[in-house]
Amino acid sequence: MGRVKSLAIKRSTRKLVELYPDKFTDDFDHNQELLSKMIDTEKKSINKIAGYISRIVKKEAKKNK
């Protein structure tokens, strides 16, 4: 079973994906670097958001295929 993301992580991730849909990719490292430049928060939160963004982008790509 996977880990459950907090509501704050989900909300902030969805908001970022809506605001910058073309900046994020399915690559975790790329998203992590972008987030560290965009937002000022702790590393743990950035990692969670970057992982969730990667998953959302992969789902969207599969859905649109």
What's residue 1's pLDDT? 66
DSSP annotation of 4:
P
The amino acid at 6: S
Per-residue pLDDT, 2: 73
CA 36, CA 21: separation in Å to the nearest integer? 17
- Count Cβ atoms within 10 A of the Cβ of residue 30 and give its class: 0-12 exposed, 13-18 middle, 19 or more buried: middle
Whether the full predicted model's pTM is greater than 0.85, yes or no, is yes
Please give the Cα distance from 57 to 7 (Å, whole number): 18
Q: What is the residue type of 48?
A: K
* Interval 9-32: pLDDT, tens: 999 999 999 999 999 999 999 999
The residue with tokens 């509501």 is 7
